[in-house]
Structure 1
Amino acid sequence: MADITTQDGDGIRTYPFPVDLSVCGVGLQVGPMGPGRIWHEDAPLDRVHRIDFHVVMFFNGGPVSHMVDFAEYRPSAGDVLWIRPGQIHRFSRTSEYRGKVLTMQPGFLPRATVEATGLYRYDLPPLLHPDPEQLAGLRASLEQLQREYEDATTLPLSLHTAVLRHSLTAFLLRLGHLAASSAEAARDQADTTFTRFRDAVEQGFATNHSVSAYADALGYSRRTLVRAVRAATGETPKGFIDKRVVLEAKRLLAHTDLPIGRVGAAVGFPDPANFSKFFHQHTDTTPAAFRAELR
């Protein structure tokens, strides 16, 4: 087979949809995941690469470590991983991939179906966690699609392809709905997580400047807290805490006559030198100079 891969300016190779490996050369494949599965005869799956087609993996085991666009995901049994054309990804050399995989060539479905199913919603999460009912529906739909895909003799090729498109559309409508609802649920969770963090900081910033301490108190992992705060504010949890501490220090310096050492102690810095250093780091001025400018 001729090498028709491309290489972008970043040196990452892009592999095309392997039409020659499909039944009847149609624009999709459905089959088991396994160590022998390839996109291309010289594609190193355990190295970073791109593909120009969709990949949907259903996992029967795990967890598996899989990189998509430089983020590591760990799908387990019952999870679905959806990789879209152009995304950079890498298989894990040490993970055992068990389950079923669907690959689909861009252009196999009409534009109206592409829009309805959200095939190019790159804002949606790659890793999906369907509940039991959603998973059962997806699996039944995928099994029907696989039966149609493997039945290459009952119908003429044109009708076989048309039936595949209809079956694939039914499956993708379910998958797209799951992806969109998962993203909405994730946003709601992030909003709730950030709100709880914000309220905790408001109550505790004068004595607690530790991200880990807030995470532990709220029952979140540090990583979950980072994602939620970044989604809500564009900054890190530590940056959010520090900004609140600086705001309170400015208020006390501007509106009270407390000595600077007492101001520092009021926002969690019993050592005046450490407070001055912190304040200067975040404002490019000293507490004394800031107070003098306002009086």
Structure 2
Amino acid sequence: MVDRTPGGAGDGDGIRTFPFPVDLSVGGVGIQVGPMGTERTWHAEAPLHRVHRIDFHVVMLFTEGPVRHMIDFAEYEARAGDLLWIRPGQVHRFSRTSEYRGSVLTMQPGFLPRATVEATGLYRYDLPPLLRPDAPQLAALRDALANLRREYEDTETLPLSLHTAILRHSLTAFLLRLAHLAASSAEATRQHADSTFTRFRDAVEGGFATNHSVSAYADSLGYSRRTLVRAVRAATGETPKGFIDKRVVLEAKRLLAHTDMPIGRVGAAVGFPDAANFTKFFHLHTGQTPVVFRAELR
């Protein structure tokens, strides 16, 4: 990546969190812009292929692909012209086999004012991390990022206060384009989804910790089980039960990775009062026990 950070801290769950390296950015400002490359890392003691967190934003614009990258336990495949937007606190891991080529922007939280943060959706964790702009959008994003990089590297023509102000404006222009793309992508996904599935998905999101029953969801939504099966399969290719189980597994993985909760409490938090049943369920869907999964992240 752009530079190496001087250290990283654990969050009590064995996953290291690496801070934004202000002292290594040009002029000590709160952003970095530069080329991606396999020879860089956040820290010399933390290989990028290990699961880790960062406390800053990362936007990668790829010029080659495909590149596989894990974000919050979901695998994404980016092609040339795609972008990945990783937000602070998300667990992620770089691929051992993919070559990362393109440009990368990193940004420290607090570099932009609150109004800009809200306008650009910097903390919209509901938006997709993988973005695929069309040709005009990609050209505009490339131009905006190239301009931002020029301003970032130009430390001679203006005093630091003006240099930083211009960086904020240039960064805002890029992020507004990026946020529009992210919101448009999410909206397009919603428009293509059947309303039956959308209601089911929202119900699962609100109830998966206590309700794993397809029939119960169908009854509460006023659908027959057959209608629900058709809608979910059309939208995702999965059965309703498979969709529910996938969400439960994701939450269990997050709790195992982010917390020191005992295995039994993790199971109870996702609807399994009996620890043995939780372990059996988790192993069935992941091929690992919760203990092994947690150990491999540490």
Task: Give the TM-score, by structure 2 length.
Answer: 0.66
In 2 relative to 1, CA 35–236 (structure 1 residues): closer, same or farther, beyond 3 Å? closer
Q: Does 1:169 align with 2:165?
A: no
Conserved? CA contact 1:15–1:43, under 8 Å: no
Q: Does 1:17 align with 2:29?
A: no
Q: In the TM superposition, what is the alpha-carbon distance from 1:43 to its structure 2 partner?
A: 2.4
Conserved? CA contact 2:6–2:21, under 8 Å: no
CA deviations 1:61-98 (Å, max 9, x no partner) are 11111000000000000100000000000000111011
The residue number in structure 1 matching 2:39 is 36
Map residues 194-273 of structure 1 onto 2, 5 A cutoff: 194=197, 224-226=236-238, 235=244
The residue number in structure 1 matching 2:209 is none
CA distance in 1, matches of 2:177, 2:110: 19
The structure with the larger Rg is 1
Q: In the TM superposition, what is the alpha-carbon distance from 1:236 to its structure 2 partner?
A: 7.4
Q: Does 1:7 align with 2:19?
A: no
CA distance in 1, matches of 2:91, 2:156: 37
Unaligned runs of at least 5 residues, structure 2? 199-222, 247-298
Q: Does 1:115 align with 2:127?
A: no
Among 98, 103, 106, which residue is 1:100 paired with? 103
Conserved? CA contact 1:53–1:85, under 8 Å: yes
Conserved? CA contact 1:194–1:225, under 8 Å: no
Conserved? CA contact 2:61–2:81, under 8 Å: yes
**Counterpart AA for 2:39:** G
Conserved? CA contact 1:193–1:225, under 8 Å: no
Q: In the TM superposition, what is the alpha-carbon distance from 1:4 to its structure 2 partner?
A: 4.2
In 2 relative to 1, CA 104–235 (structure 1 residues): closer, same or farther, beyond 3 Å? same
CA deviations 1:162-210 (Å, max 9, x no partner) are 1000000011011011111111111122227959xxxxxx9xx6xxx9x
CA distance in 2, matches of 1:136, 1:4: 36
Q: Does 1:59 align with 2:62?
A: yes
Conserved? CA contact 1:124–1:183, under 8 Å: yes
CA distance in 2, matches of 1:170, 1:23: 20
Among 167, 188, 193, which residue is 2:191 paired with? 188
The residue number in structure 2 matching 1:158 is 161
Task: Give the TM-score, by structure 1 length.
Answer: 0.67
Identity %: 71
